[in-house]
Amino acid sequence: MAVFIGRLADVGIAKESSRGVGVAAQYSLPKTNITFDDKVNKAVSEEGLGSIVGYGNQAIVTQQFSEGNIDGEINANSFGLIMLALFGGDTPTTVQTSATKHTFALSNSNAHQTLSIHGSDPVADRIFEGCMLDSLDIDISLEKIVNFSASFKGKKGQDSTFTPSYSADYKFVGRDLVFKVAADTASLAAASAVSLKELKLSFKKHAEHDFILGTIEPEAGLNKQIIIEGTLKLNYEAVTMRDYMLNGTYRAMSILLSQTRDTLGTGGSSLYFEFPRVDFFEWERERANDDPVTQTINFRCLYDLTTSKVISDCYIINMVASY
């Protein structure tokens, strides 16, 4: 087999009807990098055999599983499936001719939606079943297409057949961002947009393999507590962000990506996150002599007792009728 570059490797994803039962790929997922693959744990003998060698003569496979990252640019159609794996619940409604709004709600369970992940390259094709989303990072910057990095954990791979098929999709860039903060969610619509230079949003679900005695594979994948955090970078023109940190001020926050370059029926594609109670921390300025002074502040999304939610609204508008 000749040496090949990563661009010749393909990834497919699909929603599983039953957790851990593989299904054919629904989407061929364009990617910029992939490290998702088979892994093992081994029990290594440490008994002495009349020698100063630190290991014995056996290393026995105890667990087989898969994990790693898939990195790519956010495509509105296929990314909705990753959002479903993130939150666990999706309600689709038609909002434009041929376009659907998928509203995601955080399922208060430890068994969120699993995906089948397909891999294909010139050497072999594999399917990985029961894949749980472990973490998701979204990066919005000035000169790049909005991108993501998704970490998954699943069962060991099996030989399979996957024929990739790519179709047109809808992307976002930094100029599509509308970012707002306000005293509460009801005030977000009327609030002025905040000018940012960079935004990073991170979801951590602390997924883990549930191994049991008597088998080499995990019985199931579980998601545990969810943590939502992020980072903002903007010009230093006021002390507002600093004072949010110093004074312990909570704010509602909304993040909207919306574009009409590609028409979906009578409108365009959108991705929206709304958080009712946000805490700000670790504020700092960058004051290089010959550059505009900027400020960076981290935020974390707290549980809001009024709404009993950590995320009050989240949706994506695309051309997918249902997942």
- Provide CB contacts within 8 A for 291, sequence distance 6+: none
What are the residue ranges spanned by the domains of the chain? 11-40+62-159+168-318
DSSP characters for 4-38?
A: --GGG-EEEEEE-SSTT-----SEE---SEE--EE
**Alpha-carbon distance 180 to 150, whole Å?**
25
Query: Which amino acid, one-letter code, is at 160?
Result: S
Q: What is the 3-state secondary structure (H, E, C) of 232-287?
A: EEEECCCCHHHHHHHHCCCEEEEEEEEEEEEEECCEEEEEEEEEEEEEEEEEEEEC
Q: What letter represents residue 121's amino acid?
A: D
Q: Do 9 and 35 contact (CB within 8 A), yes or no?
A: no
- φ/ψ of 172, rounded to 5, equals -125, 150
- Please report how many Cα atoms fall inside a 13 Å half-sphere around the Cα of residue 27, on the Cβ side: 21
Q: What is the pLDDT along the chain (323 residues), one digit of tens a residue?
A: 689 999 999 999 999 999 989 999 999 999 999 999 999 999 999 989 888 888 989 999 999 999 999 999 999 999 999 999 999 989 999 887 788 999 999 999 999 999 999 999 999 999 999 999 999 999 999 999 999 999 999 999 999 999 999 988 999 999 999 999 999 999 999 999 999 999 999 999 999 999 999 999 987 789 999 999 999 999 999 999 999 999 999 999 999 999 988 877 667 899 999 999 999 999 999 999 999 999 999 999 999 999 999 999 999 999 998 99
